[in-house]
């Protein structure tokens, strides 16, 4: 365990343990729990993924996994409320059994530790419906907690709308990309969305509820739309022309999942379960939560307002967490320079510029997303689409903030593996390739200027990996030299702009 809570607990505050702290909801919930005066513990499998979060020094960090019952019992010592905000988007044989077994381990550890409440986020769905694998698994996990000796509050929510949420990104990209959209029949299904701020309001409120409460609560914005209607409302709020959505009399969840994966940042592994979860109506069957947790000041957030808030957060670079930054563990670069015995291919470039290293670093840290990669945009786009076609991340994921990065965050098809602010940025590739790849960008002082270094590193997997490297060499010979030159040139342009601004301010 590391870190010590600096938050003075208010009267009635609890000690809480949050699982899923690196996820979309968990990463936003923690600072709000701290603000409410609770003492917060977080359980993470990869502590490096929260190394850059602003609340790190205010929480106790437990390095463990949810299938380690003994570590869970120790971590839950003195904990009043356990937030279980974990749901894998994996699939395959045994997926549901593994999810259920992990929930049972958590429930037993909570019982043994004397925890008084478990709070879980499940999915909104009709009663007795033939649910998809993932929705059925979430229902099963909720039932495990409700059947355990520990009281459980299971919130059931539909589509969560907020900056950086997977559901919002799916709606946004479909609406912006396709002015006319032939779609499966499920776009006519009734959906009750909920703003992420309202989800967090209920989650925080659940910690302070008194008495024994063991049940599900449906939560939503109380406004029912069809999925097609949600895309049209998004288009109206975003100032786009009217979108025509033609519902075809076929469900086609797998085909629709592949289409979503190609046209949005959502990878196929996540697009399929998201689309499958839309096969049924998702509307609140009761509003009992009002008797326990009052609505937020000003009432619940309407769908259109939630969209406007999400767009504003993205426009202002104030996205707290994103779906893309959650769930992937680091795959560290083997030791340099001997590479721990690995076969390695490398493309290394250096470039001297008569510019302050600080300006070069600003360009490095802002790379990707809307700023691009400073060389042959068409070549990057083609590689991105090829990656999408094979089920990879592609280039559509973008980045959380236009100028700041933290370890574990996503930058297009890369993930930040290491950042030494002002000096080094190492990106690990999450594209589909027969091997493992990294891109390392660094800058250091060099006389009166700076020396920019750039390394593309590839560990091939078998013969296919070696052939892949040979196939991309011609593209590397065009992309990487231009990239090193253009990054330095962009830094020089930034330095000139800053100097001009200073001269204007100095003028009488």
pLDDT tens for the chain, 508 residues: list them: 555 444 445 657 899 999 988 888 998 999 999 999 999 999 988 787 787 788 999 999 998 888 888 889 999 999 999 999 987 655 555 778 888 999 999 999 999 999 999 999 998 888 877 888 888 889 999 999 999 999 999 999 999 999 888 888 888 888 887 777 777 787 888 999 999 999 999 999 999 999 999 999 999 999 999 988 998 999 999 998 888 887 777 766 777 777 777 777 777 777 777 777 778 889 999 999 999 999 999 999 999 999 999 888 877 767 777 656 665 444 455 544 445 455 788 899 999 989 999 999 999 999 998 899 999 888 888 888 888 877 777 887 888 888 888 888 889 889 888 898 999 999 999 888 898 899 999 999 998 899 999 999 898 887 888 888 888 888 888 899 999 999 999 999 999 887 766 655 555 5
Task: Using CB atoms within 10 Å of the CB of residue 175, give its burial: 0 to 12 exposed, 13 to 18 middle, 19+ buried.
Answer: buried
| Residue of 75, 6, 88 whose CA lies nearest to 44 | 75
Strands of 39-44's sheet in order across: 60-63, 39-44, 15-19, 81-84, 117-123, 151-157, 215-219
Find out whether 446 and 335 touch, Cβ atoms under 8 Å. Answer: no
Q: What helix, strand, coil percent values describe the chain, rounded to 5?
A: 40, 20, 35
Give every CB contact of residue 197 below 8 A, 6+ residues apart in sequence.
Answer: 162, 296, 301, 306, 309
Find out whether 99 and 122 touch, Cβ atoms under 8 Å. Answer: no
Give every CB contact of residue 290 below 8 A, 6+ residues apart in sequence.
Answer: none
- Backbone φ and ψ of 264, nearest 5°: -130, 170
DSSP letters for 58-96: GSEEEE--TT-HHHHHHHTTT-SEEEE-------STTHH
The 3-state DSSP class for residue 264 equals: coil
Give the tokens for residue 306.
């939630």
CA distance 384 to 412: 9
The number of angstroms, rounded, from the C-alpha of 375 to the middle of its chain's C-alpha atoms is: 27
Alpha-carbon distances of 217 from 82, 119, 274, 291, 354, rounded to whole Å: 17, 11, 21, 11, 62
Predicted confidence at residue 264, as pLDDT, reads: 74
Find out whether 192 and 282 touch, Cβ atoms under 8 Å. Answer: yes
The number of angstroms, rounded, from the C-alpha of 422 to the middle of its chain's C-alpha atoms is: 25
Greatest alpha-carbon span in the chain: 75
Long-range contact pairs involving 290-299 (C-beta distance under 8 Å, separation at least 24): 292/205, 292/209, 292/213, 292/217, 293/201, 293/202, 293/205, 293/206, 293/209, 296/197, 296/198, 296/201
Find out whether 103 and 40 touch, Cβ atoms under 8 Å. Answer: no
CA distance 421 to 433: 29
Strand partners, 425: 419, 441
Find out whether 235 and 202 touch, Cβ atoms under 8 Å. Answer: no
CA distance 340 to 349: 23
Find out whether 266 and 258 touch, Cβ atoms under 8 Å. Answer: no
Predicted confidence at residue 357, as pLDDT, reads: 94
Find out whether 410 and 322 touch, Cβ atoms under 8 Å. Answer: yes
CA distance 272 to 260: 8
Predicted confidence at residue 329, as pLDDT, reads: 45
Predicted confidence at residue 331, as pLDDT, reads: 47
Find out whether 66 and 79 touch, Cβ atoms under 8 Å. Answer: no
CA distance 45 to 31: 20
Predicted confidence at residue 444, as pLDDT, reads: 93
Residue 97, phi-psi category: left (phi > 0), alpha (psi -120 to 50), beta (remainder): alpha
Find out whether 434 and 462 touch, Cβ atoms under 8 Å. Answer: yes
CA distance 171 to 175: 6
Find out whether 153 and 111 touch, Cβ atoms under 8 Å. Answer: no
- Backbone φ and ψ of 147, nearest 5°: -90, -5
Predicted confidence at residue 401, as pLDDT, reads: 86
Going through 379-479 in order, the beta strands assigned E by DSSP cover: 410-411, 414-420, 424-429, 435-446, 449-460
């Amino acid at each position: 365990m590391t870190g010590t809570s600096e938050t003075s607990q208010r009267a009635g505050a609890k000690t809480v343990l949050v699982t899923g702290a690196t996820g979309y909801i968990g990463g936003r919930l923690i600072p709000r729990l701290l603000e409410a005066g609770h003492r917060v513990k977080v359980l993470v499998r990869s502590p490096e993924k929260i190394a850059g979060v602003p609340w790190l020094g205010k929480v106790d960090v437990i390095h463990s996994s949810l299938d380690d019952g003994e570590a869970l019992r120790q971590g839950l010592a003195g904990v009043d409320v356990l937030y279980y905000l974990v749901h894998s988007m994996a699939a395959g044989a045994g997926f549901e059994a593994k999810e259920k077994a992990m929930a049972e381990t958590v429930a037993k550890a909570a019982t043994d530790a004397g925890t008084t409440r478990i709070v879980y986020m499940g999915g909104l769905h009709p009663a007795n419906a033939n649910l998809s694998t993932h929705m059925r698994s979430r229902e099963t996990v909720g039932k495990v907690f409700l059947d355990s000796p520990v009281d459980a509050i299971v919130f059931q929510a539909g589509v969560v709308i907020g900056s950086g949420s997977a559901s919002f990104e799916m709606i946004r990209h479909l609406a912006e990309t396709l002015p006319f959209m032939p779609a499966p029949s499920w776009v006519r299904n009734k959906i009750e969305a909920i703003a992420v701020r309202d989800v967090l309001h209920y989650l925080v409120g659940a910690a302070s509820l008194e008495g024994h409460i063991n049940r599900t609560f449906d939560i939503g914005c109380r406004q029912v739309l069809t999925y097609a209607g949600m895309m049209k409302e998004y288009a109206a709020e975003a100032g786009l022309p009217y979108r025509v959505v033609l519902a075809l009399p076929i469900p086609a969840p797998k085909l629709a999942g592949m289409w979503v994966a190609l046209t949005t940042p959502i990878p196929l592994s996540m697009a399929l379960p998201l689309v499958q979860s839309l096969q049924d109506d998702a509307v609140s069957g009761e509003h009992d939560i009002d008797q326990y947790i009052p609505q937020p000041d000003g009432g619940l957030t309407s769908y259109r307002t939630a969209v406007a808030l999400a767009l504003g957060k993205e426009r202002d670079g104030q996205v707290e967490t994103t779906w893309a930054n959650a769930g992937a563990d680091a795959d560290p670069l083997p030791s340099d320079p001997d590479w721990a015995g690995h076969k390695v291919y490398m493309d290394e470039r250096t470039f001297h510029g008569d510019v302050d290293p600080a300006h070069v670093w600003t360009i490095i840290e802002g790379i990707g997303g809307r700023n691009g990669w400073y060389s042959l945009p068409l070549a990057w786009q083609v590689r991105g689409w090829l990656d999408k076609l094979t089920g990879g991340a592609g280039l559509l994921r973008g980045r959380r903030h236009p100028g700041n990065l933290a370890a574990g965050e996503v930058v297009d098809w890369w993930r930040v593996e290491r950042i030494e602010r002002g000096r080094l940025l190492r990106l690990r590739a999450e594209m589909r390739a027969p091997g493992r790849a990294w891109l390392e960008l660094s800058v250091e002082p060099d006389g009166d200027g700076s020396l920019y270094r750039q390394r593309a590193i590839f560990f091939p997997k078998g013969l296919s990996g070696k052939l892949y490297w040979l196939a991309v060499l011609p593209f590397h010979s065009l992309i990487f030299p231009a990239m090193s030159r253009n990054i330095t040139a962009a830094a020089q342009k930034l330095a000139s702009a800053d100097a001009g601004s200073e001269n204007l301010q100095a003028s009488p």
